[in-house]
Amino acid sequence: MSETASPPRRGRFLRVAAAFTVLLALAGYLVVRFAPGESGPPRCVARAAESSDGDVPTYEMSPEQAANAATISAVGTTRGMPERAVTIALATALQESALRNIDYGDRDSVGLFQQRPSKGWGTVEQILDPVYSAGKFYTKLAEVPGYSRLPLTEAAQRVQRSGFPQAYAKHEPDATLLSAALTGRAAATLTCMGGSDGEAGDPAKVRAALTHAFGPEVLPGTDAADTSANDGAAGEPADEPAGGQAVAKGSAEVAVPVNSSDGTRGWELAHWAVAHSADLRIAEVSVGDRVWSVAKSDEGWRKSEGESGPEKSAGNDVRMRIAQ
């Protein structure tokens, strides 16, 4: 006489079997999705310069966070602020919004720095422009006597008037790492992986974003009207960008001339381009003899000699190839 499972035991068995099937399906998806050769979810990584003990601190972020961090840095350097100021600004934004341009917050706070329209920081629309909000932060920071010599949390608090003034300190290591990369002092230390959606980009949008963040001087020949990093208004780019190169409107490349002997400016612009590669659909960036591309993003910055792709950039000039 054979024995059969009772109804309660049979029910438990079926539930366990169903759960096991779901787990197997999920495991199969993960194996396929993140198998060798797959980049996984889009992400950007800033790395510190290698140390003698081999310990290399890193900071990983989403493309959105990387783009916002690059904008904060660009506005600071364009205003002539030192790297320490950029570090303070980045640590503040890390605490206030986790480098996300959010449209909500405590009371009427919005944006990267959680600035309040009711306290005179500007309109909601203005504050939600990262270039504008970063500019307002630097304006207030510059009014703090000796801010560069103050502890970071004190300098940030003088601007923000936060209810949690000590919270900024914990972000100083990450902000220091980010500012070194984004100001260009630490070359080839910021990369992004994944993020390509196959859509074509627009060189005009790249030029507009450049002049919005860095000011019209970054691209000689563009329309300077309303493109200052100080007022947060983006203007229309001209048909011919930089350096006397005749690049027709709609061209798949944006070239940025760099007059810098130490390469810092070139790497600042190159890292900005990589940080914005997802939202502006920049497929490839080259500076000097180094190149980064979406197609080989897992390799980071690599030597460009002997490749059939982009030409070697002249000096420290930066070339951005837009997805087409």
| Residue 37 resides in a domain | no
Instruction: Encode burial over 279-300: b for 16+ CB neighbours within 10 A, e otherwise.
Output: ebbbbbbbbbebbbbbeebeeb
pLDDT over 90, % of the chain: 65
Q: Which of 183, 205, 224 is the last residue of a domain?
A: 183
Q: Is the pLDDT confidence value at 151 over 80?
A: yes
Query: In the prediction, which pLDDT does 10 show?
Result: 54
Query: In the prediction, which pLDDT does 3 show?
Result: 36
Element (H, E) at 14: helix 7-33
Q: Is the pLDDT confidence value at 33 over 50?
A: no
Q: Identify whether residues 202 and 164 lie together within a single domain.
A: no
| Residue 30 resides in a domain | no
Cα 133 to Cα 199: distance, rounded to the nearest angstrom: 29
| Residue 230 resides in a domain | yes
Q: How confident is the model at residue 116 (pLDDT cuts 50, 70, 90)?
A: very high
Query: In the prediction, which pLDDT does 194 show?
Result: 76
Which range (79-83, 124-128, 207-211, 243-247) has the least confidence? Answer: 243-247
Q: Is the pLDDT confidence value at 4 over 50?
A: no
Q: Is the pLDDT confidence value at 306 over 50?
A: yes
| Residue 21 resides in a domain | no
Q: How confident is the model at residue 35 (pLDDT cuts 50, 70, 90)?
A: very low
The tokens for 268 are 């600042």
The tokens for 323 are 């997805």
Could you give the 3-state DSSP secondary structure of residue 132?
helix
Q: Identify whether residues 105 and 169 lie together within a single domain.
A: yes
CB atoms under 10 Å from CB of 51, counted, come to 9
Mean pLDDT score of the chain, rounded to an integer? 82
DSSP letter string over 171-183? GHHHHHHHHHHHT
Query: In the prediction, which pLDDT does 237 show?
Result: 37
Query: In the prediction, which pLDDT does 234 show?
Result: 36
CA 264 to chain CA centroid, Å, is 17
Q: Which of 183, 215, 238 is the last residue of a domain?
A: 183
Query: In the prediction, which pLDDT does 313 show?
Result: 60
266-296 pLDDT, tens digit per residue, is 999 999 999 999 999 999 999 999 999 999 9
Element (H, E) at 193: strand 190-193
Q: Identify whether residues 88 and 113 lie together within a single domain.
A: yes
| Residue 123 resides in a domain | yes
Query: In the prediction, which pLDDT does 250 show?
Result: 42
Query: In the prediction, which pLDDT does 15 show?
Result: 61
pTM recorded for the entire structure: 0.80
- Contact 189/181 with Cβ under 8 angstroms? yes
Q: How confident is the model at residue 103 (pLDDT cuts 50, 70, 90)?
A: very high
180-232 pLDDT, tens digit per residue, is 999 999 999 999 997 667 789 999 999 999 999 999 999 987 544 333 344 44
Domain that holds residue 150: 57-183
User: Number of structural domains, the chain?
Assistant: 2
Q: Is the pLDDT confidence value at 17 over 70?
A: no
Q: Is the pLDDT confidence value at 16 over 80?
A: no
Average pLDDT over residues 154-177: 94
